[in-house]
Structure formats: structure tokens, C-alpha cells
Copies of this chain bind each other. A is one copy, B any other.
Amino acid sequence: MKTDDVKALIGALKQKKTGMYRKDFLLTWEKSRDELEATFLVAEALRLMRDAGISPRLWDSGIAVSNFRDNSTRTRFSYSSACDLLGLYVQDLDEGKSQIAHGETVRETANMISFLTEAIGIRDDMYLGEGDKYQREVGRSLDDGVAAGVLPDRPTIVNLQSDIDHPTQSMADLLHLAKHFGGLDKLKGKKLAMTWAYSPSYGKPLSVPQGIIGLASRFGMDVTLAHPEGYDLIPEVVELSKKQAKESGGSFSHVTSMDEAFKDADIVYPKSWAPFHVMQQRVPLLHSGDQAGLKELEKSCLANNARFTDWECTEEKMKLTKGGKALYMHCLPADITGVSCKAGEVAASVFDRYRDDTYREASWKPYIIAAMILLGKRKDPAATLEALLERGTPRTV
């Protein structure tokens, strides 16, 4: 029965025009609608297959590189779970966190780690203006390596969070929404409030809110971005989201009031981030290891944050949403008032009510990552899924 569901997903996949083979998954807005939908379909198919006890193990051996330039628990587990599910052994590449490699070093390392490698997952979100660039530099080095006959095959890069986008998060979030509302097509016209929220910590990356508005605006949603004045995202991403919203038959508003954003929202995503200009100031300080400068920046930043403690997702604010019942989302961990901090992004009672939803939201991430890898490595992904079904290896005895 579940097998029939998988077959239906494969059928839908065959209708999509995709060109993801030997490409990387860096920014969702570089992918076509069909490609995004193909990713959802493959993710669902892999999950269903595993639930049905059929192993989606694609490889008998092979390396998946994990390159985390920032701490991570949940993304690390999502990545290794995805890779293991496909049969890949995860080998960490630890280059140190202080400085991003450039030029010769990137080229050389990219090739040296890739002789038997199928996938490379990179997290690099600390340095505004650098993370995405670094991922592209690795990608070009791999292309060169393949062209020179040094590498037998092109590993596919999965962006596990850059300074610009966090596609494994946003794609998992969107798939969660699709499942929650009964289909991707049901998202059209739904109001999503991506809003800043107060946090007693600072320096949280911009990639989550950017990823959400950059992706939700593809599906005809009414996206509202809300934050206090000065807490801007990268301007280009906001412009792009506006354009995309229009093209997809949705809308995009940019406001400076959490209440306005919550008003009649179907979905709320209250989450803290550091202002764009702060992230810009932070980069040279991080590079020079200027601890005093970083401390100073943090201090002024937290003082500024403290002016906006009322940007909290409270029960009152939730009442403003559609029927008072908007779906609460978060990439986790959330700053929960009275639980993980004195005052934070969300009231404890609100978080409690939606805890399982946020866990379900997160549960898609391993499958999204696995789908991205499969699509980057297979010219005919539908045929691959069919072959896996046909083979029918049980995942467990």
C-alpha cells in the first residue's frame, strides 16, 4: 500500500522537468518550480520507502564529506542520517573555523577529498559575503577536477546553511506546510508571517528568514516580512522575494510591526536575527580575531535588541492570527520565555502547544537532504527510485 504511494510519487516526479544532475543545491531561487517540487517528491518517496521497510540505499560504498564551519547538532544529525540512509560514510573535514580557505587551497582540498566522494555538505553561515562564495569556489574546483579526469564523478554540494540561504531548512519547512495544509497547491493565498522576534542572544544568521521568504514567495503565498527598523535582511533577497511573489500570484509585504504581520496569518515564523549591517561589521572583527571589538559590537547590539522585547510570540499575538490558530513554526532551538531564557522569542504556552509540530517540521530535513543528494547524482531520478523499489532490499531483518 505504501508502495503504491511511492509509485504515485514517482509518477508525479516523471512529470517534472529537472536539470539538477551534476549541479549543486545552493540557493532555492536558482532552482525551477519543477525542481523544487521534484525535491519534495523524492524526499517523500524516500521517507515512505523507509517507512515501508524498503531500503533506499543507493550506494554500497561511498564518502559523504561534512564541512561544518559552525557548530551544529541537528543539521549534523540530519546530514549523517540522510547520507547513511543512502549508503554513504560521513567523513568530517575540519579546516578550523577562523578563516575561510581561498584559491589554491580550496581547489586542492576540494579534489583531495573527492576521489571516492558522492556528496559534500557545507555549513558556512558566519561570514556575510563569504559562505555562498566559498561553496561556489568548491563547486568550480570540482568541475575542473572532473574535466581534468582527476575525479571519476562530480560530487554534489548541499548547502547546509550559508550566509544567504538555508535551503535544507526552508525546503523541510515548506514540505511540512504542504503536509499540514494538504498539498503544495493549498499554500496559494495562505498568509505567512516571517517576523523578527526578541532574543537575549545576538549574531543569529540571516539565512533562515531569507530562505523562508525566498522560497515561500515561489508558491503564491502572501508573505509578510516584519522586523523593527534597522533589522534588515540582505536587500537583494528581499527584492527577489517581492518579484517572485508577484510572479507566483502571491503577494509580499514588508512591515515594521509584529501585530500587523500576525493579523490574519495562517502561519507565523517568529525568529530572531542580527541586522544585516551588524553582520557586515562582524566579518572583519571575526577575521582579525578582535575579541574586544566583537564584545563591543555584541554589547551595543544587545542593548538595541532590548528595545524590542515586545516582539514576542505571545498568546495575545496569536489571537490576532486567522481564527487565533495560525501554525507556529521554528527552526529550533527557540528562545522560550521563562524556559530557556527570561524573555525570548515565544511564550512557553504557545511553544508547548506547537512543540510536536516543530518536531514534525524538523523531521523532514534528513529526507530533504537525501533528496538533494539523489537529484544531484542521478540523471533519471524516477528510474532510480523505481530501481530501488524493484530491488526491494529490506532495511532491516
By a beta-carbon cutoff of 8 Å, the part of chain A in contact with chain B is: 50-51, 55, 57-63, 73-74, 76-78, 80-81, 84-87, 89-91, 93, 95, 103-105, 108-109, 111-113, 115-117, 145, 148-150, 152, 332-333, 336, 339-340, 356, 359-360, 362-363, 365-366, 384, 387-388, 391, 393-397
Q: In angstroms, how far is the closest chain B Cβ from the Cβ of A225?
A: 27
- Contact check, B116 vs A85: say whether CB atoms are below 8 A apart: yes
Q: In angstroms, how far is the closest chain B Cβ from the Cβ of A77?
A: 5
Known pairs A80-B91, A397-B388, A397-B391; A115 contacts B61 (CB<8 A)? no
- Contact check, A91 vs B77: say whether CB atoms are below 8 A apart: yes
Most buried by B among A60, A62, A85, A117: A60
| Cα distance, A90 to B80, chains bound together (Å) | 9
Q: Out of B58, B59, B91, B117, name the residue touching A76 (CB < 8 Å).
A: B91
- Contact check, B93 vs A89: say whether CB atoms are below 8 A apart: no
Nearest B residue to A351 via CB reads B104
Show 10 A/B contacts (Cβ-Cβ < 8 Å), sorted by A. A51-B152, A57-B61, A59-B395, A60-B393, A62-B84, A73-B113, A89-B90, A104-B340, A150-B360, A150-B363
Q: In angstroms, how far is the closest chain B Cβ from the Cβ of A110?
A: 10
Q: Out of B89, B116, B148, B150, name the residue touching A366 (CB < 8 Å).
A: B116
- Contact check, A333 vs B394: say whether CB atoms are below 8 A apart: no
Q: Out of B58, B149, B336, name the residue touching A104 (CB < 8 Å).
A: B336
Nearest B residue to A94 via CB reads B73
- Contact check, A145 vs B77: say whether CB atoms are below 8 A apart: no
Known pairs A55-B61, A77-B63; A112 contacts B395 (CB<8 A)? no
Neighbouring B residues of A115 by C-beta, 8 Å: 77-78, 81, 362-363, 365-366
Given A73-B113, A149-B356, 13 new contacts (CB under 8 A): A59-B396, A62-B395, A76-B91, A77-B93, A81-B115, A84-B116, A104-B339, A108-B359, A112-B332, A115-B362, A148-B359, A388-B397, A391-B397
Q: In angstroms, how far is the closest chain B Cβ from the Cβ of A44?
A: 14
Nearest B residue to A395 via CB reads B60
| Cα distance, A117 to B87, chains bound together (Å) | 15
Neighbouring B residues of A55 by C-beta, 8 Å: 60-61
- Contact check, B73 vs A112: say whether CB atoms are below 8 A apart: yes
Neighbouring B residues of A332 by C-beta, 8 Å: 108, 112
- Contact check, B84 vs A63: say whether CB atoms are below 8 A apart: yes
Q: Out of B80, B93, B340, name the residue touching A63 (CB < 8 Å).
A: B80
| Cα distance, A125 to B326, chains bound together (Å) | 44
Q: Out of B60, B91, B340, B391, name the residue touching A105 (CB < 8 Å).
A: B340
Most buried by B among A73, A393, A394, A396: A396
The 8 closest A-B pairs by CB, nearest first: A81-B116, A55-B60, A84-B89, A150-B359, A148-B356, A74-B112, A80-B91, A77-B113
| Cα distance, A384 to B105, chains bound together (Å) | 39
Nearest B residue to A83 via CB reads B89
Nearest B residue to A383 via CB reads B397
Neighbouring B residues of A90 by C-beta, 8 Å: 89, 91
| Cα distance, A51 to B152, chains bound together (Å) | 8
| Cα distance, A57 to B387, chains bound together (Å) | 21
- Contact check, A339 vs B103: say whether CB atoms are below 8 A apart: yes
Neighbouring B residues of A91 by C-beta, 8 Å: 76-77, 80-81, 90
- Contact check, A81 vs B60: say whether CB atoms are below 8 A apart: no
| Cα distance, A387 to B57, chains bound together (Å) | 21
